[in-house]
């Protein structure tokens, strides 16, 4: 009788534990609420989009909306492109080709000529180069690329942007630093940025449909990549796995930690997008949550309708990829959807 009672109690405890697990899961991801929100707002989103949530490396939510828009359909990555740029820099750091604290003038001597020789890769990837906004104003810092080539863009920053702050002392969000870092990589490796990213990052990660290449030229490391939901999830899963995907080492654990690390926390803010006013910066990433020791728990990227975030504390990666992600209304809708997906 006592044995039977113990077995019954054990079964009851396991059942209770399972129910509690389901409750926690539902609190984190209300599938019904997510489905309802997407159904209500699909047209406003532009009809075609993919939403994915992976937990512990396995899909727990996937929604493909639109006649032919799936996890394999290429779309603009927009600001998420910066994640790829930072990862590529860290691949070259791991290989010993460059150092994160190398002055970019080591590879682009023209920076020295214009008295801008103290700007490093780290400054570039944290928007703390000290270079001023363009004459058209801060609002143009996040405008789409208008340059015919990466060289033309970076030469503009070298020749026509004044030094306003010492590098590392002020945060001015925009495309300048990311593009400078990419051009310095080209000079360091003697390879174009699009070919370098394909060789060192996209192909090893199985991201077969992701590229910075464009037939129009004008490689854009800030928001010019094209990717798919499946490819992007591969990239995020690699970061969650401390630099490894499917047994293949892409980045060292130290490099992943560097991407996640709060950079220049004392830098005063010259400009930060309104939607990110409460976040701090890692390497081309927004840190939305951190622990008591300052270690990043949640990374996010995207100012538009296309968003992605990585939750290290719950081993979870999520994305919202739109066929056309641009527009303030879509950005607001995606931020609301993110709250639902995160159980907030």
Rounded CA gap, 48 and 40, in Å?
14
- Residue 305: inside a domain: yes
- Residue 320: inside a domain: yes
Phi then psi for residue 209, to 5 deg, are -110, 15
Rounded CA gap, 253 and 244, in Å?
9
Rounded CA gap, 236 and 302, in Å?
14
Q: Please calculate the CA angle 195-72-216 and round it to the nearest 5 degrees.
A: 40
Print pLDDT tens along the chain (344 aa).
444 344 444 444 444 343 333 334 434 689 999 999 999 999 999 999 999 999 999 999 999 999 899 999 999 999 999 999 999 999 999 999 999 999 999 999 999 999 999 999 999 999 999 999 876 555 555 555 678 899 999 999 999 999 999 999 999 999 999 999 999 999 999 999 999 999 999 999 999 999 999 887 789 999 999 999 999 999 999 999 999 999 999 999 999 999 999 999 999 999 999 999 999 999 999 999 998 887 899 999 999 999 999 999 999 999 999 999 999 999 999 999 999 999 88
The strand pairing partners of 163, in sequence order, are 131
Rounded CA gap, 331 and 305, in Å?
4
DSSP state letter for 29: -
Outline where the chain has alpha helix (H): 2-28, 31-45, 81-94, 110-113, 121-125, 150-160, 176-189, 193-197, 229-240, 253-260, 328-341
Q: Is 310 helix (H, G, I), strand (E, B) or coil?
A: strand
Give the pLDDT of residue 19: 34
- Residue 25: inside a domain: no
Confirm if 128 and 168 have CB atoms less than 8 A apart.
yes
The CATH number of residue 148's host domain is 3.40.710.10
- Residue 250: inside a domain: yes
Give every CB contact of residue 182 below 8 A, 6+ residues apart in sequence.
85, 150, 193, 219, 221
Give every CB contact of residue 19 below 8 A, 6+ residues apart in sequence.
none
- Residue 8: inside a domain: no
Phi then psi for residue 238, to 5 deg, are -60, -45
Rounded CA gap, 120 and 98, in Å?
11
Number of domains in the chain: 1
Rounded CA gap, 194 and 203, in Å?
12
Q: Which domain holds residue 132?
A: 32-341
- Residue 53: inside a domain: yes
Give every CB contact of residue 4 below 8 A, 6+ residues apart in sequence.
none
Give the pLDDT of residue 297: 96
- Residue 12: inside a domain: no
End-to-end CA distance of the chain: 47
Confirm if 89 and 181 have CB atoms less than 8 A apart.
yes
């Amino acid at each position: 009788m006592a044995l039977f009672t113990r077995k019954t109690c054990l079964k009851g405890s396991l059942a209770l534990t399972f129910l509690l697990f389901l409750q926690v899961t539902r609190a984190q991801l209300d599938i019904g609420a997510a489905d309802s929100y997407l159904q209500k707002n699909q047209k406003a989103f532009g009809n075609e989009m993919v939403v994915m949530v992976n937990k512990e490396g396995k899909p727990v939510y996937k929604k493909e909306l639109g006649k032919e828009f799936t996890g394999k359909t290429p779309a603009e990555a927009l600001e998420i492109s910066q994640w790829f740029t930072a990862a590529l820099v860290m691949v070259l750091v791991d290989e010993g080709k460059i150092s994160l604290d190398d002055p970019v003038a080591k590879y682009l001597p023209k920076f020295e000529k214009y008295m801008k020789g103290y700007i490093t890769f780290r400054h570039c990837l944290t928007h703390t180069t000290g270079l001023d906004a363009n004459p058209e104003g801060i609002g143009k810092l996040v405008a789409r690329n208008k340059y015919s080539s990466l060289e033309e863009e970076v030469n503009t920053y070298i020749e026509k942007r004044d030094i306003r702050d010492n590098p590392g002392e002020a945060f001015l969000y925009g495309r300048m630093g990311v593009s400078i870092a990419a051009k310095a990589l080209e000079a360091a490796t003697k390879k174009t940025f699009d070919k370098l990213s394909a060789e060192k990052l996209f192909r090893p990660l199985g991201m077969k449909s992701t590229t910075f290449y464009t037939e129009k030229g004008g490689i854009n490391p800030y928001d010019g990549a094209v990717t798919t939901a499946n490819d992007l999830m591969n990239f995020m899963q690699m970061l969650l796995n401390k630099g490894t995907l499917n047994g293949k080492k892409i980045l060292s654990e130290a490099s992943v930690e560097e991407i996640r690390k709060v950079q220049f926390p004392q830098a005063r803010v010259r400009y930060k997008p309104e939607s990110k006013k409460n976040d701090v910066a890692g390497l081309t990433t927004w840190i939305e949550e951190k622990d008591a020791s300052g270690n990043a728990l949640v990374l996010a990227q995207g100012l538009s309708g296309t968003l992605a975030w990585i939750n290290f504390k719950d081993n979870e990666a999520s994305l919202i990829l739109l066929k056309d992600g641009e527009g303030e209304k879509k950005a607001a809708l995606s931020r609301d959807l993110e709250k639902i997906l995160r159980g907030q």
